[in-house]
Amino acid sequence: MYHGMSCRRSPRPARSRRPPRAVVAAVALSLTLLTAGCGAGGASVADAPHATASPAEGFPVTVDNCGVRTTYREPPSRAVTIHQHPAELMLSLGLKDRMVGTSFPDSAVLPELRKDYASVPQLARKAPSFETVLDADPDFVYGGYASAFAEHEGRSREAFADAGINTYLNREYCGKGRVTMEDTYEEIRTIGRVFGVSDRAERLVARLRGRVGKAVTAVRCRPDVPVFVYDSGDKAAFTAGRGSLGTELIRLAGGRNVFGDLDDVFGDVSWEQVVARRPEVIVVHDYGGARDVERKKAFLLSRPALADVPAIRNKRFVTVPLTATLVGVRSAYAVEDLARGLHPESFR
């Protein structure tokens, strides 16, 4: 959306805890049994007053998400996030008081969100079990990767639906193809609608657009830098392809992903291909802090076959947390970090 531009400078009150879902289900079953013998004129559970209460202001809200259509009569009040980027997005929308659990932190939390993040109970260091999530008594589960709802681990979206819990999967994993920054903005807007805070969502989108716009403006007149994304791998290199949000972030930052023609979000390429494409900068995905990054750099620098690659010869690396390359609030920060790494002369 920035191409073709000129090069001129230019308190919510606390909720009381609901009874466990098993109790709610038992009560509902009892009501069903009581009304079943009342004949055709008897009231069903669906006719009870709680089922016909007026919806909250701005509701109902219907969302189509990765093939699952959900209608919310009111905003969720007890959310659990699986993976870090959904949690950071919710906290950026001021929804701390609606969160009852986080899980699977995979990088340092954004400084401005650390206090709020620490105040929400952590259910598990990795993906929590289905039972662990149920113990938090949520009414909404927000997954960052498709694995959040892994059927073979008992956490399918159907299993949560059967337990009366709504789910939402980050749109990056809906299989729609190429992911862009517009997906980030629409993700924020959708979560804003679900939680009844669309005004906050629009303000957040405006701030992130502004951050991206400043970085794009700073490098607009610079030549594109050839970039290789090293995620992992030794016998082959696992890298970002055409469908990756990371490829879009590199473009906005004044770079060109040398494997931007790889017809996938991520995929394996040979080291011979890396040498042939002569990247000038290598973006290293950070999975676990400084030790992980230094290990990856040392591996790349130790390979004799890569010795003449310009990025290796000049030791030009840019580190980006994997979380920052996903649909979430960090992607806007990543554009600025990448722009500074690719074009440091534009930020002096």
DSSP 14-75: PPPPPPPHHHHHHHHHHHHHHHHTT-TTSPPGGGSGGGGPPPPTT--EEEEETTEEEEESS-
Who has greater pLDDT, 194 or 290? 194
Query: In 3D, which of 237, 348, 245, 220 has the Cα closest to residue 282?
Result: 237
Q: What is the pLDDT of residue 46?
A: 31
Give the full edge-to-edge strand order of the sheet including 99-103: 122-124, 99-103, 79-82, 140-143, 166-169
Mean model confidence pLDDT for the chain: 87
Residues 6+ apart with CB under 8 A from 240: 229, 231, 246, 247, 257, 259, 262, 265, 266, 325
**101 part of a folded domain:** no
Query: In 3D, which of 284, 287, 292, 299 has the Cα closest to residue 341?
Result: 284
Maximal C-alpha separation, the chain: 84
**Total count of domains within the chain:** 1
Query: In 3D, which of 273, 240, 232, 238 has the Cα closest to residue 256?
Result: 240
Query: In 3D, which of 177, 116, 107 has the Cα closest to residue 323?
Result: 107
Q: What is the DSSP string of 233-294?
A: -SSSEEEE-TT-HHHHHHHHTTEEETTTTSSSSEEEE-HHHHHHH--SEEEEEESSSHHHHH
Average pLDDT over residues 261-266: 90
* Three-state DSSP class for residue 208: helix
Predicted confidence (pLDDT) at residue 1 exceeds the cutoff of 80: no
Q: What is the pLDDT of residue 7?
A: 54
The model's pLDDT over 118-173, given as tens digits with 9 standing for 90+, comes to 999 999 999 999 999 999 999 999 999 999 999 999 999 999 999 999 999 999 98
Residues 6+ apart with CB under 8 A from 302: none
Q: How confident is the model at residue 287 (pLDDT cuts 50, 70, 90)?
A: confident
Q: What is the pLDDT of residue 265?
A: 86
Query: In 3D, which of 68, 218, 236 has the Cα closest to residue 143?
Result: 68
**265 part of a folded domain:** yes
Q: What is the pLDDT of residue 3?
A: 41
- Strands 166-169 and 122-124 turn out to be unpaired
What burial class does residue 194 get, using C-beta atoms within 10 Å of its C-beta: 0-12 exposed, 13-18 middle, 19+ buried?
buried
Average pLDDT over residues 69-85: 97
**252 part of a folded domain:** yes
**330 part of a folded domain:** yes
Q: What is the pLDDT of residue 44?
A: 30
Q: What is the pLDDT of residue 277?
A: 98
Give me 290's structure tokens.
């400084």
Predicted confidence (pLDDT) at residue 204 exceeds the cutoff of 70: yes
**331 part of a folded domain:** yes
**146 part of a folded domain:** no
Q: How confident is the model at residue 54 (pLDDT cuts 50, 70, 90)?
A: low
Please give the residue range of the domain that contains residue 296: 223-347
Q: What is the pLDDT of residue 43?
A: 31
**72 part of a folded domain:** no
- For 147, other C-beta atoms within 10 Å of its C-beta total 16
**247 part of a folded domain:** yes
Peptide bond into 138 cis (omega under 30): no
Q: What is the pLDDT of residue 38?
A: 36
The model's pLDDT over 169-189, given as tens digits with 9 standing for 90+, comes to 999 988 877 899 999 999 999
- For 66, other C-beta atoms within 10 Å of its C-beta total 18
Q: What is the DSSP string of 95-147?
A: -GGGEEEEE---SPPPGGGHHHHHHSPEEESSPPPHHHHHHT--SEEEESSGG
Q: What is the pLDDT of residue 5?
A: 42
Q: What is the pLDDT of residue 55?
A: 64
Q: Which range, of 28-37, 99-108, 332-341, averages the lowest pLDDT?
A: 28-37
**Is residue 60 within 8 Å of 53, Cβ to Cβ?**
no
Who has greater pLDDT, 196 or 39? 196
Q: What is the pLDDT of residue 25?
A: 41
The model's pLDDT over 205-236, given as tens digits with 9 standing for 90+, comes to 999 999 999 999 999 999 999 999 999 999 99
Q: What is the CATH number of the domain that holds 269?
A: 3.40.50.1980
